[in-house]
Amino acid sequence: MSKRITKAAVKRAAYDDVMKEQPKSTSAPRWVWHRWDHERDRLRTTRWIGSIPRPTPDYHREGSIQEIEQRENAGQKELFA
């Protein structure tokens, strides 16, 4: 296997291990904010757990349609910069 494939497999395994430890149900809402960082030229994600009401209008519930759209739009901003 190439170094890139091995690195991706290791990252995927680490992600799967972390996700196994996540609670399946929680009463605390999970808020997510995606934005494009022009200085580092990458997508930045900020998570906030357990805040009611939401911290700012930029945050959306994790897994919501608004959160998915925000992530896609932030990722596409780099194409137009």
CA 78 – CA 40 distance, rounded (Å):
11
User: What distances in angstroms separate CA 75 from CA 51, 53, 63, 64, one per listed residue?
Assistant: 26, 26, 17, 17
Q: Is the pTM of this model over 0.85?
A: no
**Listing from the earlier edge strand, what are the strands of the sheet with 42-49?**
42-49, 30-37, 60-61
Is the confidence at residue 80, as pLDDT, over 80? no
pLDDT of residue 25: 65
Tell me: the pLDDT tens digits for 28-68? 778 888 888 888 888 888 888 877 777 788 888 888 888 88
Q: Is the separation of the CB atoms in 33 and 70 below 8 Å?
A: yes
Flag whether pLDDT at 24 surpasses 60: yes
Tokens 């009401």 belong to 53
